[in-house]
A and B are shown apart, each in its own frame.
Chain A
Amino acid sequence: MSLDDATVRKIAHLARISVAEKDIAPLAKELSGIMDWIEQLQEVDTSAVEPMTGGADMMLNWRKDAVTDGGHTDKVLANAPESHEGFFGVPKVIE
């Protein structure tokens, strides 16, 4: 199995997804099944291949580094679960 329980706990933490302890082992098995199938990529010789880093075969456009929009505080906050005086509200982070 390519992913053990400890690895699954670690990546779940990195991804900020809480996973109940009883679900760790089944998830490890499921993810290992997918990764084992993906393992076949290792048989391809890519020693002289440049990675393809995007979907477009073109130069990206440049633009002036200038402000083009903004000043929509109300719109930006309209969907927030909690907001105060023009800011997003979050649980206390400083004790």
Chain B
Amino acid sequence: MTELTQLTLSEARDGLRKGDFSAVELTQAHIKSMETNRDLNVFITEVPGLAIERAKEADHNRSHGKAGALEGLPLGIKDLFCTEGILTTAASHILDGFTPPYESTVTANLKAAGAITLGKTNLDEFAMGSSNESSYYGAAHNPWKRKGDPRYLVPGGSSGGSAAAVAAHTCLGAIGTDTGGSIRQPASFCGVVGMKPTYGRCSRWGVVAFSSSLDQAGPMTRTVRDSAILLAVMAGHDAKDSTSADMPVPDFEAALSGDIKGLRIGLPCEYRPDGLNSDIAALWDKGVGWLKDAGAEVVDISLPHTKYALPTYYIVAPAEASANLARYDGVRFGLRIEGESLDDMYAKTRAAGFGAEVKRRILIGTYALSAGYYDAYYLKAQKVRQLIHQDFVSAFENVDAILTPTTPSSAFPIGENSDDPVSMYLNDVFTVPASLAGIPGISIPAGLSSDGLPLGLQLLSKRWDEETLFRVAGVLEEAAGFSGLSIGGEG
């Protein structure tokens, strides 16, 4: 039955509709794959028993003509989404044993549509990282390896477990969150499609908060069509998130017309710095060729404040994180280290419960918000963020979408970039600007590096125009003809 794990999400959906196999068979095949891929450490918590129970219900629903849009499709859920009755860790020691008594809106939407949860996927602690190495539960591993090199590589981060789980065919699709590139960068490293929708498209309610003005949930899948199918279910207005958009959710799958004739695609010169990796530069050129061949018009554009995006992000995100993570104090849930006083208990609990990167960001954020520094750092960053946003607004007056590389490198060996925080931050140089601007972005696996690793191309569009993004992404995917990994195999 292992061949069922070779199906895309849309093929599995159609197969279930036709009755070629049951949801129980489909789920069992993926549970098997989850077990054989345990060396990748992609799941923090597996829930095979619950999954089979749900699959039986799904088959029952279908036989009674009540199948939802995702009825019987097994998915991985980033362990940042609160799931009722299932351990939720954010990959942090400080949330030890936390079992949410409620369900996040996004996972509730998936559940209501009939999707099956296989387990909770690994991530960087509190989604802070670009390699999945900051997880308290150990690094997740990329199922791809360099040609002739047996070392495990990072899957990227923070949604590294989700990306690796999809690439290794342990689930049909997964959901992640993206704050500065946490869906798109791991998607690029693992050779899958990663979509960050417009800020406000998906409710943030019940998602463990990192940086509230940036966090956004999105799908991670093996195809663009699968991405469109999942996003349509995840998205939608939610009264419980005041920043969730009260506007209709389009039929994203219907946007995959394959026709991009006459669309204008921008190429920002700032994304081609001196010394850009030659494999990546060449792939970007190829991507331009594919879009031209499909009838798009390609134009050079400039996004002049691009170089300030990363330092801006490393004020805004830590500042918001320092406020959001103040709630972890050993009183209401998770870890508690006893102290001599209440204050001492807070300080000891937080010292033991947070890992090094999370502490760094809380301290940077605390500093940037502290008396005497607020204007110099936080307010300054908010102003530069406005300029970065305006760069995109101006660009989209002239183009329909923007094409860039997703990452400045391919996946790297575990431990390679962990000495210097700033060098790790540079992984997100091409993804952070769109996060700051709140615009949607998607990474498409488009080719392999000279040492045999997946590389992604990123498409960006203006706010609320995911349809154009999916349309162009579909064409790019078709032209690239990227083939992912076969079952549990090597790249």
By a CB distance below 8 angstroms, the chain A residues around B354 are 17
- A-B interface pairs (CB < 8 A), number: 166
By a CB distance below 8 angstroms, the chain A residues around B286 are none
Pair B359/A17 contact, Cβ less than 8 Å: yes
- Which stretch from B14-22, B184-192, B326-334, B403-411 is at the chain A interface? B326-334
Pair B322/A15 contact, Cβ less than 8 Å: yes
By a CB distance below 8 angstroms, the chain B residues around A40 are 307-308, 311
Q: How many residues of B contact A (CB 8 A)?
A: 73
Pick from A7, A16, A56, A78: contact of B99, CB below 8 A.
A78
Instruction: Please report which residues of chain B, range 324-371, place their CB below 8 angstroms from some CB of chain A when the two chains form the complex.
Output: 326, 329-336, 338-348, 350-351, 354, 359-360, 362-364, 366-367, 370
Question: A8 vs B359: C-alpha distance in the bound complex, in angstroms?
Answer: 12
Most B C-beta atoms less than 10 A away, residue of A31, A33, A60, A81:
A81
Pair A18/B363 contact, Cβ less than 8 Å: no
Asked if A93 CB lies within 8 Å of chain B CBs, one says: yes
Pair B384/A41 contact, Cβ less than 8 Å: yes
By a CB distance below 8 angstroms, the chain B residues around A3 are 367
Pair B367/A90 contact, Cβ less than 8 Å: no
A59 CB to closest chain B CB, in angstroms? Answer: 10
Pick from A17, A79, A82: contact of B363, CB below 8 A.
A17
Asked if A38 CB lies within 8 Å of chain B CBs, one says: yes
Instruction: Please report which residues of chain A, range 24-64, place their CB below 8 angstroms from some CB of chain B when the two chains form the complex.
Output: 27, 30-31, 33-35, 37-38, 40-42, 44, 46, 49-58, 60-61, 63
A61 CB to closest chain B CB, in angstroms? Answer: 6
Known: A38-B315, A41-B384. A58 touches B245 (CB 8 A): yes
Asked if B418 CB lies within 8 Å of chain A CBs, one says: no
Asked if B295 CB lies within 8 Å of chain A CBs, one says: no
A43 CB to closest chain B CB, in angstroms? Answer: 9
Return the chain B residue nearest A27 by Cβ.
B363
Return the chain A residue nearest B362 by Cβ.
A15
Question: A56 vs B21: C-alpha distance in the bound complex, in angstroms?
Answer: 43
Pair A34/B421 contact, Cβ less than 8 Å: yes
Pair A55/B380 contact, Cβ less than 8 Å: no
Pair A11/B338 contact, Cβ less than 8 Å: no
Question: A82 vs B360: C-alpha distance in the bound complex, in angstroms?
Answer: 29
Asked if B214 CB lies within 8 Å of chain A CBs, one says: yes
Question: A88 vs B97: C-alpha distance in the bound complex, in angstroms?
Answer: 17
Question: A30 vs B338: C-alpha distance in the bound complex, in angstroms?
Answer: 29
By a CB distance below 8 angstroms, the chain A residues around B341 are 91, 93
Asked if B200 CB lies within 8 Å of chain A CBs, one says: yes
A57 CB to closest chain B CB, in angstroms? Answer: 7
Asked if A72 CB lies within 8 Å of chain B CBs, one says: yes
Mostly, the A contact residues are loop
B240 CB to closest chain A CB, in angstroms? Answer: 9
By a CB distance below 8 angstroms, the chain A residues around B486 are none
Pair B379/A51 contact, Cβ less than 8 Å: yes
Pair B336/A52 contact, Cβ less than 8 Å: no
Pair A79/B334 contact, Cβ less than 8 Å: yes
Asked if B386 CB lies within 8 Å of chain A CBs, one says: yes
By a CB distance below 8 angstroms, the chain A residues around B420 are 33
Question: A31 vs B366: C-alpha distance in the bound complex, in angstroms?
Answer: 12
Return the chain B residue nearest A47 by Cβ.
B383
Question: A11 vs B346: C-alpha distance in the bound complex, in angstroms?
Answer: 14
Pair A34/B422 contact, Cβ less than 8 Å: yes
By a CB distance below 8 angstroms, the chain A residues around B383 are 44, 46, 49-52
Question: A88 vs B362: C-alpha distance in the bound complex, in angstroms?
Answer: 25
Most B C-beta atoms less than 10 A away, residue of A3, A16, A41, A76:
A16
Pair A58/B200 contact, Cβ less than 8 Å: yes
Known: A15-B366, A55-B438, A61-B239. A80 touches B331 (CB 8 A): yes
Pair B311/A11 contact, Cβ less than 8 Å: no
Asked if B389 CB lies within 8 Å of chain A CBs, one says: yes
Pair A79/B213 contact, Cβ less than 8 Å: no
Pick from A13, A35, A50, A61: contact of B242, CB below 8 A.
A61
By a CB distance below 8 angstroms, the chain B residues around A60 are 242-243
Pair A90/B463 contact, Cβ less than 8 Å: no
B236 CB to closest chain A CB, in angstroms? Answer: 14
B338 CB to closest chain A CB, in angstroms? Answer: 7
By a CB distance below 8 angstroms, the chain A residues around B148 are none
A1-19: CB near B (< 8 Å → 1, else 0) gives: 0010001101111111111
B residues bordering A, Cβ < 8 Å? 97-99, 101-102, 199-200, 212-214, 216, 239, 242-243, 245-246, 305, 307-308, 311-312, 314-315, 322, 326, 329-336, 338-348, 350-351, 354, 359-360, 362-364, 366-367, 370, 376-377, 379-387, 389, 420-422, 436, 438, 463
Having A34-B360, A91-B338, one finds 7 other A-B pairs with CB under 8 Å, namely: A10-B370, A17-B350, A52-B383, A55-B200, A55-B438, A72-B101, A80-B332
